[in-house]
Structure 1
Amino acid sequence: MTVTIYDVAREAGVSMATVSRVVNNNPNVKPQTRKKVFEAIERLGYRPNAVARGLASKKTTTVGVVIPDISNSIFAEVARGIEDIANMYHYNIILCNADKKKEKEIRVINTLLEKQVDGLLFMGGVVTDEHIQAFRTSSVPVVLCGTKDENHTMPSVDIDHEKAAFDAVTVLIENGHRDIAMISGTLQDPANGFARYQGYKRALETAGIPVRDEYVRIGNYRYESSVDAVNYFLELSPRPTAIFSATDEMAIGAIHTIQDNGLRVPQDIAVISVDNIRMASMVRPMLTTVAQPMYDIGAVSMRLLTKLMNKESTDNMQVILPHELINRNSVAAKS
Structure 2
Amino acid sequence: MATSIKDVAKEAGVSIATVSRVLNDIDVVNEDTKKKVLDAIKKLGYRPNIVARSLKTQRTKTIGILLPDISNQFYPEIVRGAEDVSNIYDYNIILCNSDLDIEKEKEYLRVLKEKMVDGVIYMSISLNSEILDLINELDVKTVLVETKDREGVLPSVTIDNVKASYDSTKLLIQKGIKEIAFIGVGKDSENAWGDRFIGYEKAMKEAGIKIDQELVYFESMKVKSGYEGIQKFLKDKKKFKGVVCASDDIAMGAINALRDNKLKVPKDVSVVGFNDNFAASIFYPKITTISQPTYDMGSVAMRMLIKLLNKKELEEPHYVLEHELIERESTI
Alignment of 1:131-146 (within 5 A): 131-146=131-146
Q: In structure 2, what is the equivalent of residue 41 of structure 1?
A: 44
How big is the shift at 1:4?
2.6
Show CA shifts across 1:235-268 (max 9, x none).
3445211111111001011111211222211001
Matched to 1:49, the amino acid is: N
What secondary structure sits across from 2:273 in the alignment?
strand
Say if 1:179 and 1:239, in contact at 8 Å, map to a contact too. Answer: yes
How big is the shift at 1:29?
5.1
Matched to 1:194, the amino acid is: G
Q: In structure 1, what is the equivalent of residue 304 of structure 2?
A: 304
What secondary structure sits across from 2:274 in the alignment?
strand
Matched to 2:44, the amino acid is: I
Are 2:87 and 1:84 aligned? Answer: no
Sequence identity (%)? 39
Gaps of 5+ in 1: none
Question: What number of residue pairs does the alignment pair up?
Answer: 329
Whole-angstrom CA distance in 2 between matches of 1:35 and 1:63: 24
Q: In structure 2, what is the equivalent of residue 171 of structure 1?
A: 171
What secondary structure sits across from 1:234 in the alignment?
helix
Q: In structure 1, what is the equivalent of residue 263 of structure 2?
A: 263
Matched to 2:67, the amino acid is: I
Are 2:69 and 1:69 aligned? Answer: yes
Say if 1:12 and 1:40, in contact at 8 Å, map to a contact too. Answer: no
| TM-score where L is the length of structure 2 | 0.91
Whole-angstrom CA distance in 2 between matches of 1:32 and 1:227: 60
Say if 2:186 and 2:197, in contact at 8 Å, map to a contact too. Answer: no
How big is the shift at 1:234?
2.3
Whole-angstrom CA distance in 2 between matches of 1:71 and 1:313: 35
What secondary structure sits across from 1:76 in the alignment?
helix
Show CA shifts across 1:170-214 (max 9, x none).
000000101101111254423454211111111111111111110
Say if 2:146 and 2:158, in contact at 8 Å, map to a contact too. Answer: yes
Q: In structure 2, what is the equivalent of residue 119 of structure 1?
A: 119
Show CA shifts across 1:146-189 (max 9, x none).
11112222211111111111110000000010110111125442
Are 2:251 and 1:248 aligned? Answer: no
Say if 1:161 and 1:191, in contact at 8 Å, map to a contact too. Answer: no
How big is the shift at 1:125?
2.0
How big is the shift at 1:82?
0.8
Cα 1:21/1:265, change in 2 over 3 Å: same
Cα 1:309/1:22, change in 2 over 3 Å: closer
Q: In structure 1, what is the equivalent of residue 150 of structure 2?
A: 150
Show CA shifts across 1:272-325 (max 9, x none).
021111110010110000111111111111111112111112232122111110
Q: In structure 2, what is the equivalent of residue 222 of structure 1?
A: 222
Alignment of 1:180-195 (within 5 A): 180-195=180-195
Cα 1:225/1:39, change in 2 over 3 Å: closer
Matched to 1:282, the amino acid is: I
Say if 2:147 and 2:192, in contact at 8 Å, map to a contact too. Answer: no
How big is the shift at 1:98?
1.3
Matched to 2:311, the amino acid is: K
Alignment of 1:308-327 (within 5 A): 308-327=308-327
Whole-angstrom CA distance in 2 between matches of 1:34 and 1:218: 59
How big is the shift at 1:76?
0.3
Matched to 1:304, the amino acid is: M
Whole-angstrom CA distance in 2 between matches of 1:194 and 1:100: 15
Cα 1:262/1:31, change in 2 over 3 Å: closer
Whole-angstrom CA distance in 1 between matches of 2:322 and 2:296: 10
Q: In structure 2, what is the equivalent of residue 196 of structure 1?
A: 196
Deviates more, 1:292-301 or 1:129-138: 129-138
Say if 1:69 and 1:75, in contact at 8 Å, map to a contact too. Answer: yes
Deviates more, 1:5-14 or 1:117-126: 5-14
Matched to 2:307, the amino acid is: K
Whole-angstrom CA distance in 1 between matches of 2:152 and 2:34: 51
What secondary structure sits across from 1:274 in the alignment?
coil
Whole-angstrom CA distance in 2 between matches of 1:201 and 1:252: 22
Say if 1:125 and 1:147, in contact at 8 Å, map to a contact too. Answer: no
Matched to 1:71, the amino acid is: S
Say if 1:11 and 1:40, in contact at 8 Å, map to a contact too. Answer: no
How big is the shift at 1:142?
1.2
Whole-angstrom CA distance in 2 between matches of 1:320 and 1:22: 37
| TM-score where L is the length of structure 1 | 0.90
Matched to 1:300, the amino acid is: V
What secondary structure sits across from 2:117 in the alignment?
coil
Cα 1:22/1:210, change in 2 over 3 Å: closer
How big is the shift at 1:69?
1.2
